[in-house]
Amino acid sequence: MLEQNGAVIRIDRVTKIYKTGDITVHALRALSLSIRRGEFVAIMGPSGSGKSTLMNIIGCLDRPTKGQYFLEDVDTSTMGRAALADTRNKRVGFVFQSFNLVPRTSALENVELPLLYAGVGGAERHRRAKEALAEVGLPDRAKNMPSQLSGGQQQRVALARALVNNPSIILADEPTGALDTRTSVEVMEIFQRLNQEKKLTIIVVTHEPDVAKYAERIVHVRDGRISSDEPVAERSVASEVLKALPVIIPEKDDDE
């Protein structure tokens, strides 16, 4: 067992094996990893390295075949589907590459979703969702449908949704993959701000070295194992990068 010194995530010799017919794939091979509360970690690796599997296990979307995974000292490796859903609801905030907002449902209601499943009452749900939207800089977009929002705005709504239930970790899977350079930096700026101001634990899965450099620690995964785990030497500060970028006049559809 690993030390418990403030570790939000403790992965202890986790193995994940997929069996598809006759083919057996070892996605993770006795991988161990520990992430402290308040850390900003980037997980990198080529496709097929097992980083997606690792992300699914960290996000409680999947269970290890062998080994244990503790999220806030709670062993999730033996949980059933309902308990895993509850854990995702209370402890994990997801941000996806393709935003994954529920279509034809307003930004506010999208942000309210985790609270709805947590059983939070209507009035409080509203208040907290509005707060979360303000946190990501979209206080006046509550009523907009996802289709009426730009990519950057959609990703910010997704971020607000990830934040709203005060999770233990925010798990972002290629959060800038579908965004242009400036918007990407803007999103990373929010991540960095949340990490610093609210001491949120943030895990970003990416294959872009530029994006990984906004984190304070980079974990490389290869062949189902951790190939390197190092602090970032020259960390990028998104707010400064933004200043250096030319200001783009917002497109018309940005303002409806």
Partner 1 sequence: MNFWAVFKIAARALARNKMRSALTTLGIIIGVSAVIAMVSIGQGAQYLVQGQINSFGSNLLFVMPGNVVQGGANVTTAGANSLTLDDVLAIERELPGIAGTSPMLNAGGQGVYGNQNWNLRIQGTNEKFTRIRNWATARGSFFTDADVQSSSRVIVLGNTVAEKLFPGEDPVGKSMRVRNLQFTVVGVLAKKGSTFGNDQDDTVVMPFTTVQKKLQQRAVLSIGQAMVSATSERGASLAETQISELLRQRHRIAEDEPNDFRIQNMSDVAAASAQVLGIMTLLLASIAGISLMVGGIGIMNIMLVSVTERTREIGIRMAVGARPSYIRLQFLTESIVLSLMGGITGMLIGGSAAAAFAWYFDWPTLVSTLAVVIAFSFSTAIGVFFGYYPAHKAAALDPIEALRYE
Residues that bind partner 1 (CB under 8 A): 56, 59, 61-62, 81-82, 85-86, 88-90, 94, 96, 100-105, 113-114, 116-119, 122, 161, 165
Which tokens is 55 given? 């992300």
CB of 110 to partner 1, least distance (A): 9
Whichever of 30 and 83 has its CB closer to partner 1, that residue is 83
Residues 73/125, Cβ–Cβ less than 8 Å: no
CB 127, min distance to partner 1, A = 16
- Measured CA to CA, the distance from residue 188 to residue 245 in angstroms comes to 14
CB closer to partner 1, 109 vs 186: 109
For 234-256, b where at least 16 C-beta lie within 10 A, e where not — what string? eebebeebeeeeeeeeeeeeeee
Residues contacting 151, CB < 8 A, separation 6+: 99, 178, 179, 180, 183
| Between 82 and 249, CB nearer to partner 1 | 82
Nearest-approach distance from CB 228 to partner 1, in angstroms: 26
In terms of CB distance, is 103 or 231 closer to partner 1? 103
CB of 58 to partner 1, least distance (A): 13
CA–CA separation, 25 and 202 (whole Å): 28
